[in-house]
Each structure stands twice: as structure tokens, then as C-alpha cells.
Amino acid sequence: MAFVQFLLFNIFLSLVASNALSPSFIASQQSKFWSQNVDNKMPQSILSKLSPLSELETKAFSPLVSNQYFTSNPKFCTSANLVCASAVKPIPCVFYHEVHFTDNVKVPTEEADPWSFFRLSVLKNGNKVTLPDLDNKFPNRAFLPSQIATSIRLSESELQRIFPTALSIPSTKASVDMSLHHCDAPTVKGERRNCLKTLEDMIEFSRESLGRKHMVALASENAKGLGNQVVMVRNVIKPYNTEKIVACHELFFPFATYYCHMLPLTQVYAVDVINPKKRGAINKLFAICHMDTSSWTPNHVAFKLLKTSPGKGEVCHWMGEMDLLWVGYD
């Protein structure tokens, strides 16, 4: 079996060297799927995650990844733009509390960014607020082509089989374990959610969840570096009159993966934030407000920061650099 893999891979290398097919084939397919199903342009955060694999590379790697004896190699990881051998800085547990609501792990309030959550009353023209850290916390990784992603289960044993080097690094394994924890956790009342390994799956999940004819994706613009800045809120608008919204947040696996969920009674706001001294536009951000928190765990860090409890008012948070909001309309 090992010899057959070695032979197939060397044949693959010789074919790639001949430049038989464009290396942008999979990215063009992903872009085409987006344009066929989403009514606005792809944000830069997603453009950076399109697969660099060619059709030939995808055909060569697909049967190898599905084989139970496959172990990742540098060529696969480099060609597909994956993180297979680098140490990943452990993600603070509080980060994941922004995307999950049933976790009973108690997070000390002092470990939380005090500006992570806020009440709807903050979103008033002229208010000065301090923004939390909205920067991307992960190294860039591309989406896998569907042909390869379907062969990979999101489980520790499967990821250990395919990416043993990555999971041998303690900090990287800790981030993967945290992601798996949230993918496997139970939903809250009325929640629809999934961990999605491909761009196509994320689009299809959002479309099915929203159940509307048309769909757009919303993303905060240039959120990098805004953390801990005092800004003035201006031009607060509710761009879509709906409370049915899918929010997607990036998790860490060696390949790009998003945790997407839809909670009832959720509202989205577009907000301009400006420098209160220079009065120049800084950014346009999106904020999401969960109006019903009655089914959230009492241990949720938002309740500690806002000094409230489940069902006692809404909880809002900003959408980070790599987050997406999906909104449907007829």
C-alpha cells in the first residue's frame, strides 16, 4: 500500500510539473458557486481562503486522503495552503464563548476582554465605545475542495491520522481540541448549527437555514487593529428587517472551517465607527444582537461582563475580521 501511494504521488508530481492544468481551477469553481448562490461580492476574508489547488492536484490527493493509511506530507499541505506543521498560539477560551452558548466551562471574568459584549443601548449615534480585539486570531488556511473535504471527518482520531505532525504540537492540538469541543456540543433551544469544512457547505447551510430566494453575506471591513480603541458610533442602521440570521465564525483546524449557526430573535446592525478626535471614518462594522438569551448557560462570560443572567435582556457583540453574517430576502 505504501509503495502504491509513493508511485501515485510521484506520477502526480511529474504531471504537475508539466503545468497541464491551471492551479486556480478549484478557486474558480468556488468563486462560481458563490456567484450562483450569493447576491453580493465575496469579502476579502473569504477570497483569501480560496483553494490554490489545481484540478489535477485535487484528483491526485482525493484518493490518498480517503485511504486509511494516508499521512499528510509537506507537498499536500503546501499545495493546499494548510497548516500542518506550525505551532498555533492557543486561543483563549473566552474567544469561543463568542460563538457558543451551552458551554459549562467557567471562564474567569479577568480573562475576558471587557468590551467583548454590550447592550443594544450602546448603539446610539454619538456614543463613545471601546472596541474589543477583532483581529484574525488564526494563521491563514484555505478551504479544501469538496472532493477532499468529504473524506475527512471532524474527529480527533481522523485528524490525528491525516495531520499527525500538527496534532503532535501541544498548542496546535489544544486549539483543534477546543474547536472539536464546540462542534460536538449540544445546541440551545431553537438553534440550527453545523461545523462546515468547505465554502460550498457554508453557503448551502446558510441558504437552507434562511429559506429565502436571495441571500447576501455581510462582513466587517478592515477590522484589524481596532482593538482597545475608543471610537464614536455613527450612522447606526438595521439594514435588513429580519430576525432570521446565520452567523459564521472561523474555528481552527489545519484547513479553513467555519462554525455557522442560526438563533431565533437575532438582529444585525451596520455601524460606522469614527475617531472622536479627528472625526474621520475608521470603519464600517457589523454588530449582532441576540434578543433571547433564556436558554444560554448561566456560565456564559457575557452575563459576567454585563452583570446579568439568562433571559434578562439582549446580548450584543461585534463581528470580527473573519466572521460572516448571512441574511436572506425575497
Determine the average pLDDT of the residues in 223-237.
80
Determine the average pLDDT of the residues in 286-294.
93
Residue that the C-alpha cell 450562483 belongs to:
36
pLDDT at 113: 79
pLDDT for 255 beyond 80: yes
pLDDT at 20: 40
Determine the average pLDDT of the residues in 204-219.
95
Q: Where are the domains of the chain?
A: 2-329
pLDDT at 96: 54
3-state secondary structure of 277: coil
Distance of alpha carbon 44 from alpha carbon 6, whole angstroms: 37
Task: Report the percentage of the chain scoring pLDDT > 70.
Answer: 83
Per residue in 22-42, pLDDT (tens digit) is: 547 999 999 999 999 999 999
pLDDT for 5 beyond 80: no
Model confidence at 278, pLDDT cuts 50, 70, 90, reads low
pLDDT for 6 beyond 50: no
Say which residue, 8 or 301, is predicted with more confidence: 301
pLDDT for 203 beyond 60: yes
pLDDT at 282: 72
Say which residue, 173 or 73, is predicted with more confidence: 173
User: Chain-wide mean pLDDT for the chain?
Assistant: 85
Residue 124: burial class (beta carbons within 10 Å; 0-12, 13-18, 19+): exposed
Per residue in 86-126, pLDDT (tens digit) is: 888 776 655 555 555 665 555 556 667 788 899 999 999 99
Say which residue, 283 or 19, is predicted with more confidence: 283
Q: How far is CA 141 from CA 72, 76, 138, 234, 291, in A?
A: 15, 13, 8, 34, 33
Model confidence at 181, pLDDT cuts 50, 70, 90, reads confident
Q: What is the pTM of this model?
A: 0.88
Task: Report the percentage of the chain scoring pLDDT > 90.
Answer: 50
Model confidence at 134, pLDDT cuts 50, 70, 90, reads confident
Q: In the numeric block, which cell numbers belong to residue 205? A: 447551510
pLDDT at 299: 82
pLDDT at 4: 47
Q: In the numeric block, which cell numbers belong to residue 283? A: 470603519
- 295 within 8 A of 188, measured Cβ to Cβ: yes
Model confidence at 16, pLDDT cuts 50, 70, 90, reads very low
10 Å Cβ neighbour count for 103? Answer: 20
Residue that the C-alpha cell 479544501 belongs to:
144
pLDDT at 280: 66
